[in-house]
Structure 1
Amino acid sequence: MNQFGLSQSEHGTQDILRRSMGVKLLVVCGLALVMTIPSFFVESLLSERTARAADVVKEISAHVGGQQTFLGPTLAIPYTLAADSKHGVYLVFPARATAAVQTRTEERRRSLFKVPVFQADLKMNASFDLAGVPAAAPEGAQLDWNRAELILGVSDARGAQSDAIATIDGKSVTLAPARISAEMPMNPEEGQLSTLTLFGTGVQDIARPGAQFAVTAALRFTGAQRLALLSYGKTTRLTMQGDWPSPGFDGGFLPVTRNVSKNGFSAEWSVPFIARGVGAEGTAGAMRSLDATALGVSFIEMADPYQSVTRSLKYLLLFLGLVFLSYFVFEVTTGKRVHPAQYVLVGIAQVIFYLLLLSFAERMGFDWGFLLAGGATVILLASNAGWIFGSRLQGFRSLGVFGLLYTLIYLLLRLEDNALLVGTVASFLAVAAVMYFTRRIDWYSSLPGSSLSKPSDEAA
């Protein structure tokens, strides 16, 4: 009996439980879970850097116009309701609209952060046919044709690089701030037009009931991140070309044809009247669905470092577990014990890998950042295995195993849609490998190197 009242056999049983390989495996799994706690601090730092990048985008966008949305040539006619003398604006869209947009992009930098900025040259054509107008005017509305105005719109006029020029039936005019803009509905629920800056010119000499005329407008604007054109005609065709290698097509309609290469992109949209979902004419308040017809292109980075690091953090527990399992297999197959403190150091090295990845990716991009951070971590983990197990050969084996694991991390981040499938299969194969290499182990036996695995000198 010892001082705690336990027999020698009972004490030995508890000691074996503390030192058995089965218990050690449970301890290793528990340590893997505990080591995920520091990842929350890494995630907090990542959120802070992401927020800072978003602030830089806002600061730069404020000087170049931000995300730009354009409205092509549209006829605006003020009207008055005779019953209560209320005023409004009646809009008539062109019967046919064709537009061509050419963009040139560059990256503006501030400190470590960069923002795609574009310069766009827009040429918008419109063919008006006023036969039957007004067909959707409110009852009792009296249209003031003498104040009719051809208008265009843009979400942020600060991005203008030159005056807007319109050619109406062969006559060129410079557009000015629209006179009817104050009469447009300002309630955001009334539609996208309430968020646009309008500019135009009077067309009272041309715009008459039953008239037909053609308009061409030329604009040059800067902006950041996204460019969109509203489907401003009953039928609208748009072609767009640019030098950005990774565009994202969005909005109410996707292009019918597209071509993307490392040198840029080209795309073409075609929106027929039945798909547009907005009437050919009507009050400004009736055009609340016009924003849903936007034809947009987003200028996005192929590998956003913050998004990629965020995705890699989701796999932290998986790869902590795989690295810990690898060390455990090395432990039981070499007969060399590994202290839990050494597992903790291995976990800390993997957490620091994400800090290295974030700091390198901000400066040189995610691919090169992962290569440097991952390579340094793999070398450290393999060297540590060589030191622990006292074998240079074991160090080289560890280098191959850990190199394969970190290559798998990179592939998972690049596979995107297939990441779950590949990650699941890889995890299954890893567990199967552990089962195979430990198939002859008696999990109730003591750990390799334990004093209980052989008779003591005193017992002998």
Structure 2
Amino acid sequence: METINTPQQEQPRGFMQSTTARVIMTGFLTLALLIPLQYVKSLIWERQSLEQNVKQEIADQWGGSVYFYGPVLKVPYTSYTDTQVIDQVTKKVVVNRTATTQYAYFFPETLNADTQVKTEEKHRNNYKTTVFSSTMNFSGYYNTPDFAKGDIKPENVQWQKATILINTDNLKSIKDALNITLNGKTYAFEPVVQSDKSKTEALETPALALDLNTGRIKFNLRIGYNGTESISMVPIGKITSVKMQSNWPDPKFNGNFLPADKHIDEAKGFTATWKVSHLNRPFVQQYFGSLPNLNAYNLGTEFLIKNNEYQQNERAAKYGFLVIGLTFLIFFLIQTISKIYIHIFQYCMIGLALIMFYTLLISITEHSSFNFAYLISGTAVVSMITLYTRTVLKQQKLTLLIGASLSVLYTFIYVIIQLEDYALLAGSIGLFAILGAVMYFSRKIDWNPTH
């Protein structure tokens, strides 16, 4: 008897074995992996906090950021207050006059500042910050103080008690004794207590042995600072000219005024100049009663470390969701096209390997550079996933495709991290190309859950 073999029809698959179900499970796994990824970000923030603590310790010992506001000519004057009272005996109105000492503050007509800054990186444990030694040379002149604008009579001015005042935020950073020369006479500064309880600290000379009514008063002042990370000053001259030179290759110019001219050389450092007129600022040249807080109108430079390692780690972690999603997408397309089943547990192992990349990156970065850490961590994770894929897919071509795809993906993320100014453009173009590739390779996928 002849046996006839009839082809068996393919049994319909249940929903759990369908392509749609695999997409849903992979999507849920991707979202679940955001939890350990968030822990990685928390680890980066914790290490950043430790770094800030170390920077603060170094600043407390070496000297903090430098802020300079001066020199200001301070002249006391007598102010009278009349109060009318009724004499209880005569029943007549009597005027009581009370005398108090007030102060007038005069800014220079010209203020020239020449600042030389020598910077270096200071390391402690796994952390580093920028410290500097600076020499600031100031020169300029004052005109004869004009009290007429304050409606103050000449006989009420206490010329013999005039002083020079400097406000700063870090007396500890000053390296040497501080003197100022006025018309050939030298005066030493001493710390004083601020009467207005402001956060700034102050230095003041003793009474000036000068005739302030003789016209122009020339001054020269030299001050040395040890500091960390930044220098700023207030351009209080009617015409302020500032020149700053440093060996730091990556300055950040901040404050209310940007340099009029600058030249940056990565090998030699930078030179920057500012030119500020009284017409460019919202404050005047003299004040009566109290000296205003002008912190918001300063100019200066930050000596920050370019591409701080923890900032780069944080930026890399922000792309973690993209890396996990694209990696799973690559595996999903390969398994769908090649008809090879990949278990959800295997997806989970691959996802955890992707998370491990960031912990490796953080730990290695603390002992080397970010670039070296990224290379080692990326190579380790790509190699691990590629070898694991070899046992899952059991096809060398697909394994090589996975390895190449992951290498391109991590290279793409690295390029985005390095391109600070063009990161959005490069990322958008890259994602557009990836979307096009996914649309091309997924165009023939059967999404019917019964097939």
Q: What TM-score does the superposition give when structure 1 sets the normalisation length?
A: 0.87
What residue number does 1:199 align with?
Answer: 204
Letter in 1 for 2:284: G
- Does the 8 Å CA contact 2:189/2:203 hold for their aligned counterparts? no
Structure 1 residues 286, 172: closer, same or farther in 2, change over 3 A?
closer
Q: 2:61 aligns with which of 57, 60, 63?
A: 63
**1:247 partner letter:** P
Structure 2 residue aligned with 1:47? 45
Q: 1:22 aligns with which of 20, 23, 26?
A: 20
Instruction: Say if 2:386 is the partner of 1:388.
Output: no
CA distance in 2 between counterparts of 1:101 and 1:286 reads 25
Give the distance between the partners of 1:76 and 1:16, measured in 2 at CA: 89
What are the equivalent positions in structure 2 for 1:325-364 lying under 5 Å apart? 325-364=329-368
Shift of 1:353: 0.8
Q: Matched residue of 1:319: which SS?
A: helix
Q: Aligned ranges for residues 51-130 of structure 1 at < 5 Å?
A: 51-83=49-81, 84-130=98-144
Looking at structure 1, the residues matched to 282 and 378 of structure 2 have their Cα atoms a distance apart, in angstroms, of 51
Residue type of the partner of 1:185?
D
What is the SS of the residue equivalent to 2:367? helix
**Corresponding position of 2:91:** none
Deviates more, 1:92-101 or 1:391-400: 391-400
Q: Using the alignment, how far apart are the partners of 1:161 and 1:104 within structure 2?
A: 14
Change (3 A) 1:86 1:410: farther
After TM superposition, give the deviation of residue 422 of structure 1 in Å: 2.7
**1:155 corresponds to which residue?**
169
Most deviating of 313-322 and 418-427: 418-427
Q: Which runs of 5+ in 1 are unaligned?
A: 1-11, 189-193, 447-452, 454-460
8 Å contact 1:145–1:204 — kept in the other structure? no
Tell me which amino acid in the other structure corresponds to 1:313. Answer: A
Deviation of residue 351 (structure 1)? 1.0
Per mean C-alpha deviation after superposition, the further-off stretch among 427-436 and 98-107 is 427-436
- Using the alignment, how far apart are the partners of 1:102 and 1:39 within structure 2? 45
Which amino acid is the alignment partner of residue 339 of structure 2? G
Report the 3-state secondary structure (helix = DSSP H, G, I; strand = E; otherwise coil) of the residue aligned with 2:235: coil
Shift of 1:279: 0.9
- Contact 2:119-2:130 at 8 Å conserved across structures: yes
String of CA shifts for 1:6-56, please: whole Å, max 9, x gaps: xxxxxx76x521101122122212211111111121122111111111111
- Give the secondary structure class of the aligned counterpart of 1:63: helix
**8 Å contact 1:278–1:287 — kept in the other structure?**
no
The answer (yes or no) to whether the contact 2:67–2:169 under 8 Å persists in 1 is yes
Report if aligned partners of 2:73, 2:165 keep a CA contact under 8 Å in 1: yes
**Alpha-carbon RMSD:** 2.1
* Matched position secondary structure for 2:301: strand
CA positional deviation for 1:65: 2.1
Report SS of the residue matched to 1:203. coil
- Could you say which residue in structure 1 is the equivalent of 2:287? 282
Match of 1:425 in 2: 429
Q: Compared with structure 1, are the counterparts of its residues 362 and 136 closer, same or farther at alpha carbon in structure 2 (3 Å cutoff)? A: farther
Q: Which moved more, 1:17-26 or 1:316-325?
A: 17-26
Contact 1:136 1:282 in 2 (8 A): no
Decide whether aligned partners of structure 1 residues 313 and 56 sit closer, same or farther in structure 2, where only a CA change above 3 A counts.
same
Contact 1:303–1:365 under 8 Å retained in 2: no
Measured after TM superposition, the shift of residue 135 of structure 1 is 4.0
Q: Measured at CA, do residues 138 and 367 of structure 1 come closer, stay the same or move farther in structure 2, by a change above 3 Å? A: farther
Corresponding residue SS for 1:123 = strand
Where does the alignment leave 5 or more consecutive residues of structure 2 unmatched? 1-10, 82-97
- State the alpha-carbon separation in 2 of the partners of residues 283 and 241 from structure 1: 36
| Partner amino acid, structure 1, of 2:280 | A
- Partner residue of 2:35 out of 19, 22, 37: 37
| Structure 1 pair 396–215 and aligned structure 2 pair: CA distance change class (3 A) | same
Read off the aligned partner of 2:343 and give its amino acid letter: H
Letter in 2 for 1:254: L
Residue 175 to residue 285, structure 1, CA distance change in 2 (3 Å): closer
C-alpha contact 2:163 2:208 (8 A) present in aligned 1: yes
Q: Is the 8 A contact 1:96 1:236 kept in 2?
A: yes
Amino acid in structure 1 at the alignment position of 2:288: T
Deviations 1:404-451 (A, max 9, x none): 1011111111223432333233223223212212222222267xxxxx
1:294-333 superposed matches below 5 A: 294-333=298-337
Contact map agreement 1:99 1:238 (CA 8 A) in 2? yes
CA distance in 2 between counterparts of 1:155 and 1:425 reads 47
Local SS of the residue matching 2:306:
coil
In 2 relative to 1, CA 284–415 (structure 1 residues): closer, same or farther, beyond 3 Å? farther
Deviates more, 1:65-74 or 1:267-276: 65-74
* 2:272 aligned residue: 267
Listed one character per residue, the Cα deviations across residues 301-353 of structure 1 (whole Å, up to 9, x for unaligned) are 11111111112222211111100001111212222211111111111111111
User: Which segment drifts farther, 217-226 or 72-81?
Assistant: 72-81
Find the aligned partners of 2:384 and 2:129 in 1 and give their Cα distance.
Answer: 35
1:137 aligns with 2:142: no
Matches within 5 A, 1:249-264: 249-262=253-266, 263-264=268-269
Structure 1 runs of 4+ aligned residues shifted over 6 Å read none
The question of whether the paired residues in 1 share the 8 Å contact of 2:165 and 2:202 is answered with no
